[in-house]
Structure 1
């Protein structure tokens, strides 16, 4: 399985991707990470005991911050919902969207399983934090993604 390190000021989270369950979503996320798309974006939506969400290009600077949460990479990807790992648990990365098959760059990481079961088979789970999951709890709204470094096998 491929991995990445999501670097933030609050610490680094090591993620293992669900290459088999969500190959197109993983491929898209890795492509954007390689291009530096996520560098400097904020976690623009933080809901305690639910999720931290980032990946909106409008969250990068103050001039467009009022539109944070409404942007993407300029295209949409299809949801991948049939894999065995399609459940939202603590540390799971999932593709945010505004309706089925409208995701692109925004993603969220789950705080816990407590309030996320309704997301199962509605949002594509494409990875999980396997090291330093406590960083998810430390992230506050407005904290930045420094970079996402891919670890290729």
Structure 2
């Protein structure tokens, strides 16, 4: 996959553009892209929104307890969670699957514990407007 690849999340509040961090988290990016190409994220919702912390989505059940039937390896690069960084939700090392979150502000207590695989390059204003139940209408690669 090309460096600087981007993905567009079309949400019920507007578009968010991620830059995928291919070199820092190649397995997580590949997993995210494979799922988006299958339409996995289309129609899902943001099931968790904590002001000044994160907006989380990607759960197939819509309640934060869903997953795929596999887990992927954690990838901890020398990155820090700043505003707009996108991480894989997990229940511990090497348990990531399909859920991810976007940080609303710097969250240093997450550094080195959750894989960072993307960052928001456009649409942070949309991220700050998200509420529980807002829809992820479509996720696609920006060509």
- Bin for the TM-score computed over the shorter chain: over 0.9
Measured after TM superposition, the shift of residue 9 of structure 1 is 1.1
Residues 1:119 and 2:110 aligned together? yes
Q: Distance in 2 between matches of 1:73 and 1:37?
A: 10
Within the candidate set 107, 126, 129, 2:120 is matched to 129
TM-score (norm 1): 0.89
CA drift of 1:79 comes to: 0.5
- Give the corresponding residue for 2:96: 103
For 2:131, the equivalent position in structure 1 comes to: 140
- 1:68-94 deviation line (CA, Å, top 9, x unaligned): 11111111001000x23x211111110
SS at 1:46 equivalent: strand
1:72 paired with 2:72, answer: no
Corresponding residue for residue 84 of structure 2? 91
* Deviation string, structure 1 residues 95-123 (Cα, Å, up to 9, x no partner): 0001111010000000001xx11100100
Provide structure 2 residue ranges, at least 5 long, that are not aligned to the other structure. Answer: none
Structure 1 segments of 4+ aligned residues over 4 angstroms from their partners:
none
- Unpaired segments of 5 or more residues in structure 1? 60-67
TM-score under structure 2 normalisation?
A: 0.95
Note the aligned Cα RMSD (angstroms): 0.8
1:35 deviates by: 0.3
